[in-house]
Amino acid sequence: MSPAEPGPDSYAHPALRFFAATRPAFLSVTVVACLLGTGSAWSDGVAIDPLLALATLAFALCAHAGVNVLNDVHDADADAGNRERIYPYTGGSRFIQNRIIAAPDLEKFGWALFGIVSLAGLLLSFLSGFGLVPIGLVGLFLGWAYSSPPLRLSARGLGELAVAAGWLLIVLGADYVQRGYYDGLALAVGMPFAALVTNLLLVNEFPDWRADAESGKRTLVVRLGRREARWLYLVLSGIAGGWTIAALAAQLIPGACFAALLGLVPSVQAGLVLLRQAEQPQELVPAITGSIVAVLLFGLLLTGGLILGGAG
């Protein structure tokens, strides 16, 4: 346990412990995804309902929190043996390992969050359209299957695909809630964002490589090896950039969205760090933080471009 990690006495009230166990700082990615989906609807002239937008955000945040909590429970063994972790980015929340919350209690909390999401999703579907139901069901399934047995997609080299699909669905869902129907613009802006979110997961797998391999968790980094997997990061960054440029050229998104390409700068910088330091876990902090900045900056600039260049 490093001095930076939380301990049993870190939180005075049990409610604070459970809130912190959701890893709230990382929920910002979902906030941006919801903004992006709402901005997509605005760009096409849809009148935005702020209450529905807030409800969508709360629904998505609750789902993301539940996924984080269940992931901590089912990755507890791998996290316990992770000696190369970089807290708070990799190696889990440490709440189980540092005896802050018992694993059974944390699992019950995760399922309670999923239960809240299910009820809230049904209500939101009633208000916005039942086309939201398949988005919500698939999203919850992927969130559960990501780390929960028997599927454990993250241990089968499919976790990265599940994460890409999950955050794409958040963008599609936020757009659908406002429109009441599916639209290709949400897909056009959601795909490059999802690629960058996948990169954030990918770069975090490098410090966890040894612990994951020893525990039988076969992530893409474990399957490909660190030297080969590092190139995948730049491929995903290239997909995000290429998709955005193609969407601009085809006039699928407003020209003002060109500014979003600036968000790829920290992603490329992070990728270059990863190329040099893929086998040196403690040297990857700049790559991890750069990946976080890239996701947030790209998503916010793309949202801004939709708002400024749209018909809303």
Whole-angstrom Cα distance, residue 102 to residue 107?
A: 9
Cα angle: 298, vertex 146, 198; to 5 degrees: 20
Does 128 fall in a domain? Answer: yes
| 266-284: burial string, b at 16+ Cβ within 10 Å, e else | bbebbbebbeebbeebeeb
Does 16 fall in a domain? Answer: no
Say how many Å lie between the first and final Cα of the chain, rounded.
51
pLDDT tens-digit series, residues 137-174? 999 999 999 999 999 999 999 999 999 999 999 999 99
Helix (H) / strand (E) element for 262: namely none
Does 11 fall in a domain? Answer: no
pLDDT at 310: 78
Q: Are 126 and 52 in contact (CB under 8 A)?
A: no
Nearest to 179 by CA among 34, 41, 6, 291: 41
Whole-angstrom Cα distance, residue 239 to residue 244?
A: 8
CA distances from 76 to 18, 102, 152, 156, 206 (A): 16, 11, 13, 17, 18
Domain range enclosing 134: 30-309
pTM of the model: 0.96
Whole-angstrom Cα distance, residue 76 to residue 84?
A: 15
Q: Are 26 and 288 in contact (CB under 8 A)?
A: no
Does 23 fall in a domain? Answer: no
Does 17 fall in a domain? Answer: no
pLDDT at residue 312 above 80?
A: no
pLDDT tens-digit series, residues 172-204? 999 999 999 999 999 999 999 999 999 999 999
Does 18 fall in a domain? Answer: no
Does 124 fall in a domain? Answer: yes
pLDDT tens-digit series, residues 122-147? 999 999 999 999 999 999 999 999 99
Largest Cα separation within the chain, whole Å, is 56
Does 19 fall in a domain? Answer: no
- Proportion of the chain in helix, strand, coil states, percent, rounded to 5: 75, 0, 25
CATH number of the domain that residue 104 is part of:
1.10.600
Q: How many domains does the chain have?
A: 1
Q: Are 239 and 192 in contact (CB under 8 A)?
A: yes
